[in-house]
């Protein structure tokens, strides 16, 4: 059943806007990574860049399929449909699995000591993870193309019409569809939820432990302080006399207190800052993934196992379009949570206004 003309026009306009936003915003993110060297120096940021590349690819394949949205016509034939199916599997799986990798990275950040975390999430390992993500996508897309004829229902093998729509014949096979759905959407989404919950639990423990340690340190330091002004004067005088020349400048430069009563390092930054930032980034990504993906997941589960008669092509199309909205929102999350990307955009906009 087709949409009414008014809703069809609104759907075409909405899809057109989403495509434009996906392409422009993700291209801007990739340019920011190319121009700002410090963004590339932090290995974990390469996962953000990889997610942006996958989202940009989602925009490209939506352009590829635009004729079916606008005029209900597929001009590319069988080979074009196979290419579209391959690219859809590639970019969709790359985006979801990259989000899983980001969730795992955030969990490692709060569950390991920071030096150990940096050793685990080295640049070399991150690059291997990214390579593995794209390899999984290639294998999924290739398997669908290779099984194209074998999984095509016998009644459709000689009568399948690729002029009106690109519907992959293997997707008529319930077992293959559920396998692809599990690997590309349901499995990664479940992993994202698990690691996000584990991240929150571990973060609460770490912050609580820091509060307890800070309170105990403050108590021990206050108990060690001299009680009279004479003791303080004597301590400061003796420290000044025994201190080598030039020691004061070196101590200030190194961010340490002068040796004497205490030799505790002064923390210039909030020790919890990296964990708070990680929580904001992961929370934003997970929230958007859930909003854009869960409706499609739940609908697919319902029509596959509980109510096959409830399958409606229009509802399925609208929920499928919601998946693409995730690729349009992600770049705005990067700009909102990463100051270096935000500063790059400000510099570009200031130059444009100046000229």
Q: Could you give the percent of the chain with pLDDT greater than 90?
A: 15
Q: What is the pLDDT of residue 153?
A: 66
Where does the pLDDT of residue 317 fall: very low under 50, low under 70, confident under 90, or very high at 90 and above? Answer: confident
Return the minimum-mean-pLDDT range out of 166-175, 181-190, 294-303, 316-325. 166-175
Asked if residue 30 lies in contact with residue 49, where contact means CB atoms within 8 angstroms, the answer is: yes
The larger pLDDT score, comparing residue 226 to residue 6, is at 6
Q: What is the pLDDT of residue 211?
A: 58
* pTM score, whole prediction: 0.75
Asked if residue 93 lies in contact with residue 140, where contact means CB atoms within 8 angstroms, the answer is: yes
Instruction: Quote the CA–CA distance of 125 and 81 in Å, as a whole number.
Output: 35
Q: What is the pLDDT of residue 110?
A: 83
Residue with tokens 């040796």: 259
Sign of the dihedral through C-alpha 75, 76, 77, 83? negative
Residue 247 CB contacts under 8 Å (≥ 6 apart), including other chains: 258, 259
Q: Give the three-state DSSP class for 320.
A: helix
Residue with tokens 């390579």: 131
Q: Count the neighbouring beta carbons within 10 Å of the beta carbon of residue 110.
A: 23
What does the pLDDT look like over 247-297, one tens digit per residue?
A: 444 444 444 334 333 333 334 455 566 666 667 777 778 888 888 888 887
Q: What is the pLDDT of residue 248?
A: 43
The larger pLDDT score, comparing residue 142 to residue 39, is at 142
40 pLDDT above the threshold of 90: no
Return the minimum-mean-pLDDT range out of 27-41, 202-216, 320-334. 202-216
Instruction: Quote the CA–CA distance of 50 and 286 in Å, as a whole number.
Output: 17
Q: What is the pLDDT of residue 222?
A: 56
The larger pLDDT score, comparing residue 254 to residue 314, is at 314
Q: What is the pLDDT of residue 189?
A: 87
Residue with tokens 């991150």: 126
Q: What is the pLDDT of residue 224?
A: 56
What does the pLDDT look like over 53-78, one tens digit per residue?
A: 999 999 998 888 777 766 677 777 78
Distances (CA, A) of 346 to 24, 26, 277, 342, 352: 16, 16, 21, 6, 10
Task: State the Cα torsion 289-295-297-299 to the nearest 10°.
Answer: -170
Return the minimum-mean-pLDDT range out of 58-67, 151-160, 166-175, 191-200. 151-160
Residue closest to 282 by CA, chosen among 213, 194, 345: 194
152 pLDDT above the threshold of 80: no
**Tokens in use for 266?**
């002064």
Q: What is the pLDDT of residue 256?
A: 38
Residue closest to 44 by CA, chosen among 130, 112, 110: 130
Max Cα distance, the chain (Å): 101
Residue 98 CB contacts under 8 Å (≥ 6 apart), including other chains: 47, 50, 51, 54, 130, 133
Residue 56 CB contacts under 8 Å (≥ 6 apart), including other chains: 22, 23, 26, 27, 30, 327
Q: What is the pLDDT of residue 157?
A: 63
Sign of the dihedral through C-alpha 19, 21, 26, 27? positive
The larger pLDDT score, comparing residue 244 to residue 29, is at 29
Mean residue pLDDT across the chain: 75
Sign of the dihedral through C-alpha 128, 134, 140, 143? negative
The larger pLDDT score, comparing residue 78 to residue 130, is at 130
Return the minimum-mean-pLDDT range out of 146-150, 226-230, 261-265. 261-265
Instruction: Quote the CA–CA distance of 70 and 6 in Å, as a whole number.
Output: 13
Residue closest to 164 by CA, chosen among 267, 49, 68: 68
Distances (CA, A) of 146 to 85, 140, 164, 169: 11, 10, 23, 11
What does the pLDDT look like over 195-227, one tens digit per residue?
A: 888 888 887 877 776 655 555 555 655 555 555
**Tokens in use for 28?**
């801007």
Asked if residue 136 lies in contact with residue 98, where contact means CB atoms within 8 angstroms, the answer is: no
Instruction: Quote the CA–CA distance of 32 and 339 in Å, as a whole number.
Output: 12
């Amino acid at each position: 059943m087709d949409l009414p003309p008014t809703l069809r026009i609104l759907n075409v306009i909405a899809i057109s806007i989403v495509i434009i936003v996906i392409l422009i915003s993700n291209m801007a993110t990739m340019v920011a990574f190319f121009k700002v060297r410090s963004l590339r120096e932090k290995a974990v940021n390469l996962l953000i860049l990889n997610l942006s590349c996958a989202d940009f690819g989602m925009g490209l394949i939506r352009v590829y399929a635009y004729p079916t949205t606008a005029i209900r016509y597929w001009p590319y034939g069988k080979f074009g449909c196979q290419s579209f199916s391959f690219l859809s599997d590639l970019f969709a799986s790359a985006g979801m699995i990259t989000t899983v990798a980001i969730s795992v990275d955030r969990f490692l950040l709060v569950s390991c000591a920071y030096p150990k975390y940096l050793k685990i999430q080295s640049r070399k390992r991150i690059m291997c993870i990214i390579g593995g993500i794209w390899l999984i996508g290639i294998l999924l897309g290739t398997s669908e193309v290779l099984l194209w004829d074998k999984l095509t229902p016998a009644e459709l093998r000689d009568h399948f019409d690729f002029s009106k729509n690109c519907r992959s014949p293997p997707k008529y096979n319930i077992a293959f569809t559920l396998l692809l759905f599990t690997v590309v959407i349901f499995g990664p989404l479940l992993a994202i939820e698990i690691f996000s919950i584990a991240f929150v639990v571990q973060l609460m423990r770490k912050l609580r432990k820091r509060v307890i340690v800070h309170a105990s340190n403050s108590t021990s330091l206050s108990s060690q302080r001299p009680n009279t002004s004479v003791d303080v004067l004597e301590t400061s005088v003796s420290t000044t006399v025994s201190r080598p020349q030039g020691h004061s400048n070196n101590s200030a430069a190194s961010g340490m207190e002068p040796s004497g009563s205490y030799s505790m390092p002064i923390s210039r930054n909030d020790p919890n800052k990296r964990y708070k930032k990680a929580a904001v980034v992961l929370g934003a990504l997970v929230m958007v993934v859930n909003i854009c993906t869960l409706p499609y997941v739940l609908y697919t589960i319902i029509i596959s196992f509980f109510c096959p008669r409830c399958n409606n092509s229009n509802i399925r199309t609208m929920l499928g379009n919601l998946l693409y909205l995730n690729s349009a929102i992600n770049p705005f999350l990067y700009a909102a949570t990463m100051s270096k990307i935000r500063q790059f955009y400000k510099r570009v906009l200031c130059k444009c206004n100046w000229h």
